[in-house]
Amino acid sequence: MVAKLTPEEVAFYHENGYVVARGVVTGEKLCALQRETDRIVAEAAGVTEHNDVYDLEDSHSPSNPRVRRLKEPYRHFEFFNQLARDPDVLDIVEQLVGPDIRLYGGKMNLKSAGFGAPVEWHQDWAFYPHTNDDVLATGLLLDTCDEMNGPLMVMPGSHKGPTYDHHADGYFCGAMSADDEEAAQNLDYSKAVKLTGKAGDMTIHHVRLVHGSAMNESNRQRRLLLHEYTAGDAWPLVGLKGEFNQCFYDLLVRGMPNTQPRTVPAPVRLPYPAAKKGGSIYENQKGTGKRFFETYDEARKTE
C-alpha cells in the first residue's frame, strides 16, 4: 500500500504549490509502465507526422523515430486508462482537491538523451482556466531524474500570484516571454526548484504554478507521465475537451458529478486567439517571444 501524503506535505503543497510523493508506482506495475511505453514508442517507426497519439521531435524520421510526447495515452491505451484511475494515485489527489475528482487531460513527455526538448516557463492555468483552481497535474517519473536529465522545475509560491501573459504577437503561445516585465518583477528564476526523484516517484504541481524544464543534455532519457485532475465542481472556462458524457461522467474518476460549479476569484487570462502553431505545447511555444531555455538547434549553433 502506497503511503499517502503526511499533513506536513499537504500543508507544503498548499504553501508552495508543489510536492513530490515517493514510490507511488513500484515493482511490476512500474516495469509494465516502462514496457508499455517502449512498445508504443517503437511503433512510431513508420509514422511520418504528428497524429492523435504521437508528437514528434523536429529531428524525427520514420527510420530514426524520435517521440517527444504521447498525447492523452489514457484515451488510446487501456493500460494508461487504468493507471490514470489508480486508487493509490487518486488517494493522494483526493488529499489535495477533495473527494470528487475529474481527469481533465494527460500526456507523457519524453526527453530523449542528448536532445530532449525544453518546455518554456508557463502556467497550466493559462491553457485551461476553470471556475476554481482546485486543479493540479501529477507527473509519474518513468526514469530516475536528477539535475542533468531535464527535471521539471517549479517556482515555489507562484500559484498564489498573477496569471502571466502567455501571448506573443497577439496570439496565445503557451509560454511566458523572458521579456515579460510583470513576470520579471515577481519571479526570481534563480530560486527555481528542480523536482528530482526515482522512477516511480510522482511530482504534483498546482495548476497556477509557474513551471518549465530545460533540454536534456545527459546521456539518459527522462520520461514523465502527466495527468491533470480537477475538483469535481471545477468547470472548464474554455469548454469541454470532447463529448459531454465522456468528460462529465466517464472521466469523473472518483466521487459524484456536480452540476453546480464552484467559483473562486482567481485571475484568468483566456488562451485566445488560439496559438498560430496548434497541436502541442512544443508547437505552441515555437511562437513565443524571447525564450528562456536553449534548444537543441541553438546549442549546436554555439558549439
Q: Give me the residues that bind ligand AKG (CB under 6 A), please.
A: 109, 119, 124, 152, 211, 213, 224, 281
Which residue number, 100 or 118, has a Cβ lying nearer to ligand AKG? 118
Which residue number, 24 or 100, has a Cβ lying nearer to ligand AKG? 24
Count the helix, strand and coil residues of the chain and give each as a percent rounded to the nearest 5.
Answer: 25, 25, 50
Closest by CA position to 83, among listed 3, 198, 202, 197? 202
Which residue number, 165 or 233, has a Cβ lying nearer to ligand AKG? 165
Q: Give least dist CB 172 to ligand AKG, A.
A: 14
Which residue number, 100 or 145, has a Cβ lying nearer to ligand AKG? 145
Q: Give least dist CB 105 to ligand AKG, A.
A: 10
Q: Give least dist CB 27 to ligand AKG, A.
A: 25
Grid coordinates given for 295? 534548444
In angstroms, the Cα distances linking 115 to 5, 24, 167 are: 34, 28, 26
Closest by CA position to 138, among listed 13, 290, 12? 13
Closest by CA position to 122, among listed 226, 8, 219, 218? 226
Which residue number, 91 or 283, has a Cβ lying nearer to ligand AKG? 283
Q: Give least dist CB 1 to ligand AKG, A.
A: 29
**229 strand-pairing partners:** 103, 136
Q: Give least dist CB 250 to ligand AKG, A.
A: 23
SS3 (DSSP) at 297: helix
